[in-house]
Amino acid sequence: MKRNFDDFKQFIKCKKIGVVGIGISNKPLIDFLLKLGARVSAFDKKSPDEIGEVARELKEKDVDLVLGEKYLNDLSDFDVIFKTPSMRIDSPAFVKAKEKGAYVTSEMEEFIRYCPAKIYGVTGSDGKTTTTTLMYSILKKQGYKSWIGGNIGTPLFSKVEEIRPDDRVVIELSSFQLMTMNISPEVAVITNVSPNHLDIHKDMEEYIMAKKNIFKYQSNSDLLVLNKDNELTNSMTGEALGKVKQFSIKEKLNKGGYLNKDSLCIDGDEVCKLSEIKLKGMHNVENLLAAFCALKDDVNIESMREVATTFSGVEHRCEFVREIDGVKYYNDSIASSPTRTLAALKAFEKPVILIAGGYDKKIPFDILAEEGYSKIKTLVLIGATKYKIKEAFENLELKKQVHIPIIMANSLVEAVNSARKVSRRGDVVTLSPACASFDMFANFEIRGNMFKEIINRM
C-alpha cells in the first residue's frame, strides 16, 4: 500500500542514518537524506583514496565516513540503515543492528513505498534492461511523463517529490533488490528465470523466492506478466494475487502476447510483423511481447507498433560495433549468464566466433556447451572461468563426438586479436561472456566499452 511521502519526511528528520555503500544509487540518496534533515554516516569497504573526490565532497557536507576493510564493525547505533542491494540482509552487522532496533531498508524499497505514480517493475534472469527500456519508450510515445530507473542505473528515490500521480514509472529490479522487498509494484513482469547469481544466493530456491517478491505483495487489482515458455515462470501463475497475463513465442494464446506465424500480437490484435522489428533474436521478440502485456491497459496499439519497429536496442546488448575485412563485430557484454549468451548466439544466422569467460558466479556451463555448440565456430576464452567453460565443452566433445576449436587468451585484447586471426570474410565475432565482469573489469559497461575501443582501433 502506497504511503504519503510527508510521513517519511517527518519520520526521517533528525534521525541517525547509516548508508552502506557509496555507489551510484546511494550518492543521490545521501544528498536527499541530508536535505530532509537527517544525520548521515556513509560506509564503504573502499579506502579514502579509492573513493577519491566523493569522500572529500561528503566530508564537506558533514557526512561521517567509515571506510576500509573493517567498515561494518558496528552499525548498532543507527535508527535507519540503507543498504546497498548486493549485501545480504542476514550479514552479522545488519542482524545485530536490527536486534538493536534499527530499520534496515534500501533506496528502491522506499521508492516503491512512497512513489505516487503507477509503477511497472521488471525482473528476470535475462532481458530485464531491454524490456524495461521498451516499456519506458512505449509509455513516452503514448504521451505519459515517464521515469526509468532501478537496477538499470538511475536512482529514483531522490526524485520522488517531482513525480506526479498521473506519471508512469518503469523500474528494473534485480534479485538482490527484491530479496528484502515487502512491497510490490502495481504491474510486475518476470521475463524468465534460469540459474544466476549463485555466488550471492544460497541456492537456486532462494534466487527464485527473491524473484517472486516482485508480485508477492500485490493486490487483487494488480497485474503479473509471466513467460509461458519458461518452465519456472509458468509454474508461478497459481501464486498470483491479482490478474495474470502470459506471453509466448511457441503457441497462440487466447489472451496475452504471442507470435502468430510472422505477427507479434496482443490479446488477438496484431501489433507488427516479425520482419518489421529491428531487434535481433527471438529473445527480443519475447521482450517485446512482455512489454505489450504489461502496457495493454495504458497504451494503444499504435504506440506499441511505433516503438517495436524503430527501437534498435540498448548499448552492450547484441550491439553492432563495426565491420572489418568482411567480418562483423558485436558487443554483447551484458550477457553475464549462459542462458543470455545462448539467446545471443541464436540471434545469428550461422555459427560465430565467440569470446566468453569472466567472473565466476558459480553457475554451471553445461547448458552453454550442450545448446550452444552448433552456434559456435570458434571459442575464445578469457577470465577466471575460462578453464571451467573449456571443461564443459571438452566433456561435450567426449559425449557427442563434436569438436569446437578453443583458444585460451590472457586478456580481452589478446582474445580480440586471436578472434581476428581465425576469422574469415562473412564471419561474426561477438563478445558474449556468459559471465559477470568483476574478475577483470568493474562492470559490464567498462568491459563492453573496452571491446569497442579495441575494435575501433583496428
On whether 126 is known to bind a ligand per the annotation, the reply is yes
Q: Percentage of the chain with pLDDT > 90? A: 73
Burial class (CB in 10 A: 0-12, 13-18, 19+), 78: buried
Of the three residues 261, 282, 308, the one that is the final residue of a domain is: 308
pLDDT of residue 315: 78
CB 120 within 8 A of CB 171: yes
CB 285 within 8 A of CB 259: yes
313 assigned to some structural domain: no
Instruction: Judge if 270 and 350 occupy the same domain.
Output: no
Whole-angstrom distance, CA of residue 321 vs CA of residue 48: 37
Instruction: Judge if 445 and 341 occupy the same domain.
Output: yes
On whether 360 is known to bind a ligand per the annotation, the reply is no
pLDDT of residue 433: 97
Instruction: Judge if 415 and 329 occupy the same domain.
Output: yes
Instruction: Judge if 117 and 261 occupy the same domain.
Output: yes
pLDDT digits (tens, 9 = 90+) for 15-60: 999 999 887 668 889 999 999 999 999 999 888 888 888 888 898 9
Domain of 134 in residue numbering reads as 109-308
- pLDDT greater than 80 at residue 405: yes
314 assigned to some structural domain: no
Average pLDDT over every residue of 350-378: 95
287 assigned to some structural domain: yes
Instruction: Judge if 254 and 376 occupy the same domain.
Output: no
On whether 130 is known to bind a ligand per the annotation, the reply is yes
More confident residue, 144 or 56: 144
On whether 341 is known to bind a ligand per the annotation, the reply is no
Whole-angstrom distance, CA of residue 194 vs CA of residue 207: 9
Instruction: Judge if 278 and 138 occupy the same domain.
Output: yes
Instruction: Judge if 304 and 365 occupy the same domain.
Output: no
Average pLDDT over every residue of 335-347: 89
- pLDDT greater than 90 at residue 229: yes
Instruction: Judge if 387 and 408 occupy the same domain.
Output: yes
In this structure, of 28-37, 66-75, 194-203, 252-261, the range with the lowest mean pLDDT score is 194-203
326 assigned to some structural domain: yes
pLDDT of residue 24: 67
pLDDT of residue 278: 85
Of the three residues 90, 105, 120, the one that is the final residue of a domain is: 105
pLDDT of residue 411: 97
Of the three residues 275, 308, 341, the one that is the final residue of a domain is: 308
> What CATH number is given to the structural domain containing 379?
3.90.190.20
Q: Count of domains in the chain?
A: 3
- pLDDT greater than 70 at residue 201: no
- pLDDT greater than 70 at residue 197: no
Whole-angstrom distance, CA of residue 138 vs CA of residue 307: 6
User: What number of residues does the chain have?
Assistant: 458
Whole-angstrom distance, CA of residue 373 vs CA of residue 406: 11
In this structure, of 4-18, 46-60, 248-262, the range with the lowest mean pLDDT score is 46-60
pTM listed for this prediction: 0.79
- pLDDT greater than 70 at residue 153: no
> What CATH number is given to the structural domain containing 21?
3.40.50.720
pLDDT of residue 15: 94
Instruction: Judge if 288 and 143 occupy the same domain.
Output: yes
Average pLDDT over every residue of 290-294: 98
pLDDT of residue 354: 98
- pLDDT greater than 80 at residue 154: no
Average pLDDT over every residue of 132-137: 96
More confident residue, 59 or 142: 142
pLDDT of residue 196: 65
> What CATH number is given to the structural domain containing 143?
3.40.1190.10
236 assigned to some structural domain: yes
Instruction: Judge if 217 and 337 occupy the same domain.
Output: no
Instruction: Judge if 133 and 163 occupy the same domain.
Output: yes
pLDDT band at 141 (very low <50, low <70, confident <90, very high): very high
More confident residue, 387 or 283: 387
pLDDT band at 198 (very low <50, low <70, confident <90, very high): low
pLDDT of residue 419: 98
On whether 129 is known to bind a ligand per the annotation, the reply is yes
On whether 127 is known to bind a ligand per the annotation, the reply is yes
Instruction: Judge if 395 and 259 occupy the same domain.
Output: no
360 assigned to some structural domain: yes
